[in-house]
Structures are given as structure tokens and as C-alpha cells.
Chains A and B, each alone.
Chain A
């Protein structure tokens, strides 16, 4: 599309775990799993999610800093269009083109600036490195930029450790602008700063965007900051897009259960804010063995039977309930694939009791249970993999908003 600066199609990134290369069985961390995303020209796109959701991996892939990934990324810079795909990765010269037209501001201003260099050398380094002009020009630009970020020319002669955190972050912003980028990625730029300094940096970032007509990708885990700066917002969870849409509409009417969980977790600076007890569904999830179906289902408060439950997950739930309600500590089980398993209790009486307990509880997601002697065989529903469905600028990755699924199973779409 014409007004998209970056179009990402079905991007997946996985990292090989250290030490697994020669072990016979390689294991991978699935950092991103099929991301499709457009970044429009002149917008601020916020990417939010917990740690480990793949926010920073996405930024690194967009900047061409990772080698191994699948999918397609198209760049539509002015006077230059580039497409990078699994089949044809960019050549060095093309990567340089991307690096010239984009830049990044990192989280920690204390480690992002070289402490052995003067501020003026730090700021002019991208300019000189890309051979955009002579050294004298770079000095002029640097003094112009340092005024723009709200410091004085005196600061050019300082070393970074003579400056405070806020001033350092201003220098990082100045450095990111000297190569006249079209895209700037902010990777949690304010999370290590104080509240009043955060306000200064956010104001600065927004001012500069208006002045220089830039496109921002703003990575943060602070939802209030994301709401303040962004036009559109993307919610990531375990490398999957959960929801994407206009920031205001996502905040006023979050659709995905994960977005709802995130937004309700932010304590608000209001006198009448009260914390409520929540049903905690803590599940051990990792991006090494991703949960099947919807990746969020083990933690989802409104998960249906079709959201991707597997035998071992359900067996764990049954074991726990058997321990809590019936006092059974050991429960033998035999797995028959992902969707069926057999549980053997001590005697027929206990087995019957256990079956009653399981039938009573809705959250076991059982399709069928057969009692024979002292063993029960369970069958689960075939899982549906949700897909990112978009309507009216919003896209949600949840079965509850999949009309086809809902009608097929006679469920009502009530948005909860």
C-alpha cells in the first residue's frame, strides 16, 4: 500500500537455545509466530506486551539486525522501496539503506551511550558513519539538534557520565535524529526515568514527531504511556498479535481477554482507585513449547472447550481437583495422543466420585468421559486455532469474535 511505511507479512522468528546444536534434539524459543502488521506513514504505533512477548525481537527484525527469520518485510521509504523475504534477504548495501533511514532509542540511557566518547562524537557518529556529509556539517547539525532536544551547546563537550538520566536520554534522541530518519523505534525509552523526567522526554518525542514528520514504533510495557503517545496500538502475547487497533478504541473497548487483563492491571493515579481480588489463573507458559490453539488459553478467564486444551493440561487440572476435593494424591494416567487419555483410580467407587466431580466442573473442557471399572477414559474437543480477524480498523485474535466458530458451536457473542 502507498501510505504504509512498513508492511510485515507472516513474520516468524525463533532463536535456537544455547547448547542444543549438537545435542541431537534442537530446541527453539519461538519469539515471534506469524506476525502480520502494517505501519502507516506518520503514525505512532505502540507495541505493548509483557516481557518475553517478542516486542524487542520485532524491532530488531524490522531494523534488519537479525539474520534468521521467515516471512516478508516491505519497506516503503521515500524514493526507495525494499522488500526482504526469507527467500531473498537484503544485501549489505540495502541493509545500510535501511539503517540510514531508520534509528532506534534504547531503554537504558546509561548503557546506550559510549562513556569514553564526548557527547558531540556520540551524536555525530551515525552521520559520519553513513557518510552523509563532512565533519564540519555534522558539528553544525549536532549543535542544532542539541538545542532541539532542549540542551545547550555546552553539553556537546561533556562526557555522558557527567549528565543525568534525562539528559542522556535526550542525547540518545538527538543521536537517533541526525541521520534524518523516516522511522524511529523507541524501545521503552522512559521506563528507567523518573516521572517528571518521563514527562519531559515524552513531550520532546511528540514535539519532534510533529516538526520532522516522523513515523514512530513505540515499544513499552507501560500502558498509560502507550495511550499517551500512540495513534494505533498492538498487543503482543508470546509472539502472537492479540489485538490491534486505534489506541482510543482499544482502551475504551478492549475486545481480547488478554487486552482486558492488561488494561485492568494498571493502577490509576486516582484517589478512589481500589484493587480487586482476581481469580488468578497462573499457568506456566513458555515460548519454547507454545500452548496449542490460542496461546493465551491456559491463562484465559473465558476460555472455551475449543481453545486448544491438550490432555496433559487437562490431566493436571484433574489431578489438582482430585487432590483438593477427594484427597487423592496419586492418580495413574495413560496418554493416548493430545486429545484423549485414561485415568486409573484406586477403586470403582473413587473413580465414580472423580467422574462426578469432573462432569460438574465446566472448566475441564471434556467432550466425552467413559467409566469402565476403576478407570475413566476422557476425550477432548478438537481445538480451533484463532486467526487475526479484522473489522473496521480493529483486529482481534480470539475465537469469541470469530462468527464462523460461534455459529458452528451455537455460542452467543456477548463480548465477554
Chain B
């Protein structure tokens, strides 16, 4: 089981005591209150909870997408790849002491400083949003949006690909030798032994992982090479000696029909375009050539969500955050998108944080499940425990309130009451007004984190030395 593997490796993302507040007219809303999660490498961590439980806010704070003026990370740390991102994120917004233009200038400085600090993390965490229509730019064709993501975050990789392909072309002259290898596995092996990991190797890796026939894969590899025009000596020199800076230099509003890939002069853009095409094929898009030059409104919901997935995996991220990616889709399309995300996790070993409120989707996806309630993780543990033996009263309530497929219960269980107002949380355990096991201590003191086997739960029922019968 990949779950067992995941347990052995070091966590790729550590959230410690994360606290996110929003400042509203009626007071401070504590959206996330002391969150502790370790995300293991290569796992799919599911986060469930009702709306207002802080699932999305957690995701947004990892991505540094929180609204700037009205809220932010108050305390805690987001440790990714050995460095704490939280202070860098919040440094952008906390510019104190000055006013007016001076303050704006300082803020701009702070933002630039933060950007420099985060440069190494560009494109390593990416996110798929719930509503594909409002996340894609309606004014740009799909290829521009893919190109933007690829070139802005990972232009170096594109340039490497161009150079590497050129050196392959120069050395072997005729790539038919390579294509004579029996299957794509052999081709991959051949490329790896000759050129090492990365670059062109990664491209063939992409192609070899597509769910298509062998002959189709070979055609794609041939095309990947054919589109690579030989660079002139000047171009080559420019690309190898001095990497051009990115920052949207390549993009133009494309209100005219795009040129075919061969017709693009700039080798890096051409390579990026080709890579976009491969990405669309990778996410199983029917008819990718046409999709590349379509506007988002011309695509169906499932296709748009596939474009979002392609955008998210474009830079081979370490962590992929999927925030309710299938809520707006039909069941049949949902199945395909879920399968796609799962196969990305299994094949590319991308860590996935999957947020949903649909427990069926959770069962299909997650290795480990964290249940959030009022800004805290009330229970976290392996997925099979979650469904078979839930610990926290809220978790068992959630499970009981879903209509069952095989047995017919006339009356569904429902958790009484509602999610509390985050500005006026009840004292003690936030769940105590809705809990049927609530004890005296639940109303006065917040429960600590308790370990039960592989799981952690925040509930007084599992604490030693608490008088259980005291109501």
C-alpha cells in the first residue's frame, strides 16, 4: 500500500500551529486555529469538513493566496522543503509605521524581497480550483494560459529542453535509431543512459505514461523531436550563455488565431507550445490540437477542469492542492477527473492535498484523511480507519448523515445545530453544543491532541484521566 510507504518517508510539508484570522466589521473571525498537519511525500491527504471549517483557507494560506487586507496568517509555520514560508508570506503585508505613498513603497519593497526569497519554490506547489470557469482567463486562449504557467515558473526547463533536443539532433542526426527501440520503456532507458535525468528524459517520461497505444507513443516522441528546429549558432549561444528572464515577456493578448507550432520563431515559445500540447494529451484531452487554440468558454466543464489539471501539473509540482475539483462536474466526468488526479499521484509521485466535502470522493481518493471542524483538525488518520471506525463524534456524525447506497434507511442521521460562527466560538471544544457525548470539561477546556494508534484525535473522550460520565 502506498500509505505504508508514505509513512516511512519524511513529510514534504509541515503545518505547525497555523492560525489564520479574517478581520471583519463584526470582529475577528478565526478561520484556522492552530492547525497541525504533516503531509507525507507521495500520499493523497484528504481534508473533509463542512463549509466554514477552514479547509479552503488552509489551502489558500499554503499557496499565499489569502486576501491581503482583510486577513492573513497570524502565527504558526508552513515548512516546505526545509524553509518556513509563513513569515515570508506575512512579511509582504506587515509594513508598519509609515503612511501613504511611503507605505506603498515599503510594501512594494517587501513584496519584491519576499519574491526573491520564494524564487526557489516557484511552481513547486500548485493548485486546482473548484470552479474552472472562474479560474481560467476568458480573454486568453488555452495555449497562452498554459504557456504563461510553463514559462513564468519554469522557463529554464524549457530552454534546457530546446538545447538538449538540439544536441540530440546534432549527435544522432537521424532519430530513427532511437525510435527503433522496441517500446517506450526502452527508449526511455536509452535516453536516460545517454542524457541523464531531466529535460528531454522527462518529456519522454510524460509520453510513456500516457494511457495510449505503443504506436501512438512513438508518433508523439517523433513529433516531439521533429518540431525542434535546428538552432542557429547565435541563438544557441544566446540561450546557453545567458538565460533570458521570464516574467511574461513572451505573452501577448491573442485576439488572432494562433500560428501552428512550426510557424513560431522563438524556439523557447515553440517548445513551450509543444509542451502544452503534450500536457493536454497527458490529461486525456480529446482533440488537444483544437483545444490549444480554444477560449475557455468553448470547452465543456470537464474539459476546462482538465485544462486546470494540466496547468497545475505543468511544472511537475511537489505538491498539488485540489480544492473541490469535481464539485461542479457531472458524475461521469467527475470519475474521469478523479482518476486522472489519482494517476498523477501514482505515476508522477506527486503529493496531493485533496479537499472535498463528498465522502464518496474521499473514499475513492485519499490515503489519509483529516477532518476539520471550526478551524481545527479534529481527527486525522488512515482512510480505512476513517470509514470503519471513526473516533470523533463529529466524524461519525458526518458518516451517518450520508445516504447509503446498499441499504435503505428512511431517516438519515443528522448532526443537530450548525457550524458555529467563527467570530464567537463556544468555549471549550468548538463542537460541544452539537455533540451528544458532551461532558462538563468539553464546555470549559479545549481538548488536547491525543494519539490513538496511528491516528490523532482532539476529543476529551479519548483523554486519560477524564471522568467520562460527568455530564
Contact = CB atoms under 8 A, between A and B. Distances in A.
B399 interface: yes
Contact of A267 (B360, B383, B397, B401): B360
Given A269-B387, A284-B286, A224 B403 contact: yes
A278 to B, nearest CB: 7
Given A195-B50, A195-B358, A275-B364, 20 more contacts: A50-B330, A194-B419, A195-B359, A196-B401, A199-B402, A203-B414, A206-B410, A221-B330, A224-B403, A267-B360, A269-B362, A269-B363, A270-B363, A271-B387, A271-B388, A277-B211, A278-B339, A283-B286, A284-B286, A324-B213
B405 A224 contact: yes
How many interface residues does chain B have, given as a range? 35 or more
A236 to B, nearest CB: 12
Interface in A310-352: 323-325, 327
A271 B386 CA distance: 8
Of listed A166, A200, A225, A251, residue having the most chain B CB within 10 A: A200
Contacts of A273: 360, 363-364
Contact of B219 (A224, A272, A327): A327
A268 B360 contact: yes
B169 interface: no
B363 A268 contact: yes
A140 B287 CA distance: 61
Nearest to A262: B331
Nearest to B329: A51
11 contacts: A194-B51, A195-B357, A198-B401, A199-B401, A221-B331, A227-B405, A228-B412, A265-B335, A267-B361, A275-B335, A327-B219
A194 B363 contact: no
B219 A269 contact: no
Contacts of B397: 196
B221 interface: no
Contacts of A50: 330-333
B398 interface: yes
A267 B335 contact: yes
Interface string B304-333: 000000000000000000000000001111
A78 B386 CA distance: 50
B301 interface: yes
Interface of B: 50-51, 211, 213, 215-216, 219, 284, 286-287, 301, 330-336, 338-339, 342, 357-364, 383-388, 397-399, 401-405, 408, 410-415, 418-419
Contacts, number: 128
A275 B342 contact: yes
A195 B213 contact: no
A29 interface: no
Contact of A51 (B301, B364, B401): B301
A227 B408 CA distance: 8
Contacts of B357: 194-195
A151 B166 CA distance: 71
Contacts of A278: 335-336, 339
A196 B405 CA distance: 17
Given A203-B411, A265-B335, A277-B211, A195 B402 contact: yes
A29 to B, nearest CB: 15
A126 B360 CA distance: 38
A202 B412 contact: yes
Nearest to B49: A194
B285 to A, nearest CB: 9
A239 to B, nearest CB: 16
Interface in A181-212: 194-200, 202-203, 206
B396 to A, nearest CB: 12
A266 B401 contact: no
Interface string A157-187: 0000000111000000000000000000000
Contact of B412 (A51, A194, A199, A327): A199
A195 B362 CA distance: 13
B360 A51 contact: no
B13 to A, nearest CB: 25
A261 B357 CA distance: 23
Nearest to A193: B51
Contacts of A283: 286
Contacts of A202: 403, 412
B239 to A, nearest CB: 31
Contact of A199 (B362, B385, B414): B414
Given A194-B51, A224-B360, A166 B418 contact: yes
Contacts of B414: 196, 199-200, 203
Nearest to B301: A51
Contact of A164 (B335, B338, B418): B418
Contacts of B384: 271-272
A118 interface: no
Nearest to B397: A196
Contacts of B287: 284
Interface string A34-48: 000000000000000
Contact of B216 (A197, A248, A282, A324): A324
A228 B364 contact: no
A274 B365 CA distance: 9
A251 B408 CA distance: 12
A111 interface: no
Given A166-B418, A194-B357, A225-B403, A267 B338 contact: yes
A271 B301 contact: no
Nearest to B359: A269
Contacts of A274: 364
A282 to B, nearest CB: 5
B385 to A, nearest CB: 8
Nearest to B211: A277
Instruction: State the 7 A-B residue pairs at the shortest beta-carbon distance, nearest first.
Output: A228-B403, A199-B401, A267-B364, A271-B387, A269-B359, A267-B360, A271-B384
B415 A196 contact: yes
Nearest to A261: B332
A223 interface: yes
A289 interface: no
A280 interface: yes
Contact of A268 (B331, B399, B405): B405
Interface string A85-125: 00000000000000000000000000000000000000000
Contacts of B331: 50, 221-223, 262, 265-266
A203 B412 contact: yes
B286 A282 contact: yes
Contacts of B335: 265, 267, 275, 278
A269 B418 contact: no
A17 B363 CA distance: 41
Contacts of A194: 50-51, 357, 419
Contact of B398 (A51, A164, A195, A227): A195
Contacts of A195: 50, 357-359, 398, 401-402
A298 to B, nearest CB: 11
A51 B387 CA distance: 30
Name, among B301, B335, B387, the residue most crowded by chain A CB atoms within 10 Å (CB to CB): B335
Nearest to A269: B359
Contacts of A268: 360, 363, 405
A227 B403 contact: yes
A272 B406 CA distance: 14
Given A50-B330, A266-B360, A280 B50 contact: no
B360 A324 contact: no
Contacts of B361: 267
A269 B332 contact: no
A398 to B, nearest CB: 17
Contacts of B339: 275, 277-278
Contacts of B388: 271
